[in-house]
Amino acid sequence: MEHEAFIFSGRVWICQSKSDYSLFIKHTTSSFTALLVYIDDIIVMSLNHTSTDEVKKLLSTKFKIKNLGSLKYFLGMEIARSKNGIQICQTKYTLDILSEMGLLVAKPSPLPMEPNIKLHKDQGDVFQDPTQYRKLVGKLLYLTNTRPDISYIVHLLSQFMETPRVPHYDDLLKILRYLKGSPGQGLFFPTTSSLQLTAYCDANWANYPDTRRSTTRFCIFIGKSLVAWKSKK
């Protein structure tokens, strides 16, 4: 990870990531500490309590802070820890979307999309409320932070934000019915996971019927933990 050092209280304290400017890292021979900032909220992660306490003490000398204890909820993400590992999901966020769309009692779909789906930009009638379509796509894009299983179809439907069609909106509703069947599904990071890095990639050649563009996809694991994924035209 690329990073640069900066001075805090007259000494080199931590490094700022160049790939994510809100992430700061301190790495020594005996400890690893990460600090993630979002506006006025901060998450501190460390291998030991001593490093965590040092960060909080240092911050309290410069800012008025409030310690909310162990991380359980952050930006719509729910975090649960046990001796087996860490579970991250967006159950409440998912249920809020379903409630807003009136689909809490809808029949669940076993799949987020039809197999071998082909969508056209001029397919079907123009959807009368494009703002609603864009808002729903935006919410589902955020949900892909913990639901890689819908990344491909959400990426595909995001291609029609300018002039969405009725069939495109119907496919969005199918994703919601799929989420209805597993609103609590998310990511699990087991404590027994190794540090072996494994990556998988695939490509769908010229699968966009309007442009003949291809789609590439990848996912990266550290041991058994899925840490990165993407679907891109």
Q: Write out pLDDT tens, residues 149-204.
A: 999 999 999 999 999 999 999 999 999 999 999 999 999 999 888 889 999 998 88
Task: Provide mean pLDDT across the span 75-103.
Answer: 93
Structurally, the chain folds into a number of domains equal to: 2
Domain membership flag for residue 194: no
Same domain, 47 and 111: no
Same domain, 64 and 120: no
Domain membership flag for residue 127: yes
Please check whether residue 6 is in contact with residue 14, taking contact to mean a CB–CB distance below 8 angstroms: yes
Q: List the domain range (segments joined by +) for residue 57.
A: 3-69
**Where among 40, 69, 98 does a domain terminate?**
69
Q: Residue 92: in which H helix or E strand, if any?
A: helix 91-100
Task: Provide mean pLDDT across the span 55-78.
Answer: 86
The reported pTM is: 0.81
Task: For residue 226, give every residue at least 6 positions away whose Cβ sits within 8 Å of its Cβ, in sequence order, or none.
Answer: 148, 187, 219, 220
User: In the chain, at which residue ranges do the beta strands (DSSP E only) sit?
Assistant: 3-8, 11-17, 23-27, 32-38, 41-46, 73-74, 77-82, 85-89, 186-190, 197-204, 215-222, 225-232
Task: Provide mean pLDDT across the span 40-64.
Answer: 83
Same domain, 107 and 167: yes
At residue 204, the pLDDT reads 82
Same domain, 179 and 102: yes
Going by C-alpha positions, the residue among 74, 8, 9 that lies closest to residue 43 is 74
Same domain, 96 and 168: yes
Q: Dump pLDDT digits (tens) for 1-51.
A: 444 444 444 444 578 888 888 888 887 777 788 888 888 888 888 877 888
Same domain, 168 and 114: yes
Same domain, 94 and 12: no
**Where among 42, 69, 96 does a domain terminate?**
69
Tokens 């010229």 locate to: 206
